[in-house]
Chains A and B, each alone.
Chain A
Amino acid sequence: MSQFKAHSVLPGFNLALGFTLLYLSLIVLIPLSALFFKTATLGWGGFWEVVTGERVLAALRVTFVTSFAAAVINALFGLIVAWVLVRYRFPGKRIVDALVDLPFALPTAVAGIVLATLYAPNGWLGQHFAAHDIKVAYTPLGIVVALTFIGLPFVVRTVQPVLADVEAEVEEAAASLGAGRWDVFRRVIFPAIYPALLTGFALAFARAIGEYGSVIFIAGNMPYISEIAPLLIVAKLEQYDYAGATAIAVAMLLISFALLLSINALQWWSSRRGGR
């Protein structure tokens, strides 16, 4: 132990590390390893058979593609919302600021039902889309809408403080050196907020992958088209196929882990480039 312990003025290294490991074990590692143990009862062949099933592959594809799309939309519009909240003063700003967090507070099933009602072909919003032959509810597009809704706060809340930290002076300096608005954003502001934007994106993405409650109401849940992987897990559970359910969960977990790890690596790489 002692060779890992660098000398530090902060006391309680052993205690803090011990607590961290215990806590992580209880909350994260033990449940996750239970998942792996249950899956292991299938054996490699059984596992492979479940996760490469045509319907499972389709569901995984729907989950990751819609989650990615929602995270991209959130990154873009979340950035704009954060920008407006940081840079401008307008009446009702505090209310708008509070509104951003609402998707966190609302039970996701409620959100799903409301969105499904609004975006249904005869709903308030859905009828306008239907007039242009665009179906939102009960298609993958509807899933993206639901996932965008629940993921909105992540990007806004991660970018907002970092953007507020970019001093106006830095922008003035860039302008006095002859930089146009686009150059100022591209060369000065964006590099500063990029790591936070990536974090927000990763959080929104991860949240969307695991989302169940809001999606099932708006998705229509048609196999191969708008059926998400978490729904398939629930379906397996209802058929008492516990090992099959955990196998899909393990597959999702591994893919998510690989994706989040690569986002982290990207972040590490860009922050090293930034010299911080």
Chain B
Amino acid sequence: MNMKVKPNTNLLDVKGMKIHFHSSEGVAKAVDGISFHLDRGEVLGIVGESGCGKSVTAKSIMRLIPTPPGKIAAGQIIFDGTDLLKLSIQQMRRIRGNRIAMIFQEPMTSLNPVFTIGDQISEMFILHRGLRRKQALEQAVEMLAKVQIPEPCKRSREYPHQLSGGMRQRAMIAMALACDPQILIADEPTTALDVTIQAQIIDLMLQLKEDFHTSIIMITHDLGVIAEIAQTVAVMYAGKIVEQAPAVDLFDRASHPYTQGLLKSIPKLGRRAAKGRCDLSEIPGIVPSLYRLPQGCSFYPRCEKAHAVCNSLMPDLHSVSEHHRVRCWLYADKGKRKD
């Protein structure tokens, strides 16, 4: 493995990526020109409702989009100096699992039901480290211990259905981190778990991030998870990034009407006791179909602060402070506004 140590801290740079899905209904622009970057040791959160393109973004970094119907129509994914989109499938296989690893939402279905946990983890060592089966199994047990699974030796001989949801997600994390990857992409890793287990898994991921020096891309619809773990956040809506900011800024000074709506719609514990039952805030309307996006800003039909211009032109990302950018006409320079 030739790891080029570069002076810059930029580990992953996604530039203007567009992912289209072709179907009989037309072309769905699942991801429409998004750019973000990930530093070494950073945790980037990508938030959005289901169908906003966040999972597709995650899979496309690993080149796991099924083609057809999917197609990465434009853009670059620069990982450690090389464009992943230009690699051959063979070269890409040496990156998958080895230098970029991924965990999925459903620990129930993302482990293969017919192989033991130990088998599935040891496969990583056999594949990427060239270990023999016996050594690989020993390493697998060691990984299970690192993700704090009790009795790792016994567990390694069990099948996925014999483990609880939280255990399975730990096993998934053990498998993902087996080969010490530089990036861990976590696609809704806590969504299918109980709240108490969620907290444990997040703590575990944060601790392992320090131990393994891994950067994490955390994909979720749960702003609470983002608040716990992420340093920078990208909010996605209908295939576009609508707001990008350090986590602190985002929670304190959410600027895009969509982000504000998301924050407001989190129910607050104790509010009913204090103020009596009242309506929960929500964002009216539904996410538009990717086949029939509005002509202007995609959020326009649901936006409380919409203007005439929003209906006709998609706004660019405008800076509100140094690292805080918002895709909304409200923050465009007054001179450029057309209303």
Decide whether A and B assemble into one complex: no
- Chain A positions within 8 Å of B, measured between CB atoms, are none
